[in-house]
Amino acid sequence: MSDIRLVLADDHPIYRDGVARTLIDAGGIDVVGQAQDGEGAAKLCAELQPDLVLLDVSMPKGGGLGALGLIMQMEKPPLVAMLTASEDEGDLMAALKAGAAGYILKGVGASELVELVRDLAAGRSYVSPGLAGRLLVAMRGKPVGEPNPLADLSRREEDILRLVATGLSNKEVGRKLDIQEKTVKHYMTSILQKLHVRNRVEAAMLARAHLKG
C-alpha cells in the first residue's frame, strides 16, 4: 500500500512542524507540502494533488475555510479535514457544508491523530466527539418538510446509510453488503441528494438521529 500523501496548513510553524514530524514518524504518511496560509494551502493542493489535506481554520489569506472552498473547486479535490482550536459551531457547520470530511480539535493526542489521518484517507469521516453532539442538536432543530427526513430513502439506501453512520468507508460498506465500492458511491450520491446534505458527515448525523435499531 502506498503512503498517504498529505498537505498540512497551519500558521504556527512550531505546531505545524510537530504535527508533520508526528505523522511522518508514524510511517505510511508522507507530508508532501506545508503551508502557512489559506492561499498557500490551495496552491499546494493544485500542484501536489495530495490524498488528504489538514487545514487550520484561523490562518491569514482566507484561512482554512477559504482554502477549503478553493480546493473543492478542483477537478479532483483531495479529502480535506480541519485541524483547529476553533470549537465555534459556525466554523464547524461551514466546514462540513463546504465539503470537509473531518473536523479535528487540536487537543487530540499524537497517536489518535495518526489513526484519524489513516481513517480519513480510507474514506471515513470524523467530527470531534464534543462537537458532534452539538452538531446533532443543531441538525435536529432544523425544520424538515416531513416527520422523518429519511422517509424517501429506499431500503438499500437505508442499509448503506446505517453502515456509514457507524463510521465505515464505502469499500467496507461494499464488503458488508456484497456490492462494489462504485455502487456504494452511486447510492451515497443519491442519499445526499435526498437528505439535502452536503457530505457523509451530515448524513451520518441525520441517520443517528432518525434511524431505529
What pLDDT was estimated at residue 199? 86
Name which of 33-47, 59-73, 109-123, 187-201 the model is least confident about. 187-201
Q: Per-residue confidence at 89, pLDDT binned at 50, 70, 90?
A: confident
First and final CA of the chain: distance in angstroms? Answer: 36
* pLDDT tens sequence across 138-164: 666 555 444 577 888 888 999 999 999
What pLDDT was estimated at residue 154? 87
Read off the C-alpha cell for 53.
489535506
Average pLDDT over residues 181-210: 87
Average pLDDT over residues 176-196: 90
* pLDDT tens sequence across 10-61: 999 999 999 999 999 999 999 999 999 999 999 999 999 999 999 999 999 9
Reported as half-sphere exposure (CB side, CA atoms, 13 A), residue 152 has a value of 11
Cα–Cα distance for residue pair 63/56, rounded to 1 Å? 7
Confidence check: pLDDT of 80 > 70: yes
Q: How many residues does the chain have?
A: 213
Cα–Cα distance for residue pair 31/25, rounded to 1 Å? 10
Average pLDDT over residues 129-138: 73
Give the percent of the chain with pLDDT over 90.
65
Is domain 4-128 given the CATH code 3.40.228.10 in the classification?
no
Q: Tell me which of 3.40.250.10, 1.10.10.10, 3.90.1150.10, 1.10.240.10 is the CATH number of domain 142-210.
A: 1.10.10.10
Of residues 142 and 94, the one with the higher pLDDT is 94
Q: Is 168 exposed, middle or buried (0-12, 13-18, 19+ CB in 10 A)?
A: buried
| Same topology between domain 4-128 and domain 142-210 | no
Average pLDDT over residues 106-122: 94
What pLDDT was estimated at residue 213? 52
What pLDDT was estimated at residue 144? 44
What pLDDT was estimated at residue 139? 62
What pLDDT was estimated at residue 138? 65
Maximum Cα–Cα distance across the chain: 50
Kindly list the domain boundaries of the chain, sorted by start residue.
Answer: 4-128, 142-210
What pLDDT was estimated at residue 146? 46
Confidence check: pLDDT of 115 > 80: yes
Q: What is the pTM of this model?
A: 0.71
Q: Is 36 exposed, middle or buried (0-12, 13-18, 19+ CB in 10 A)?
A: middle
Cα–Cα distance for residue pair 179/160, rounded to 1 Å? 11
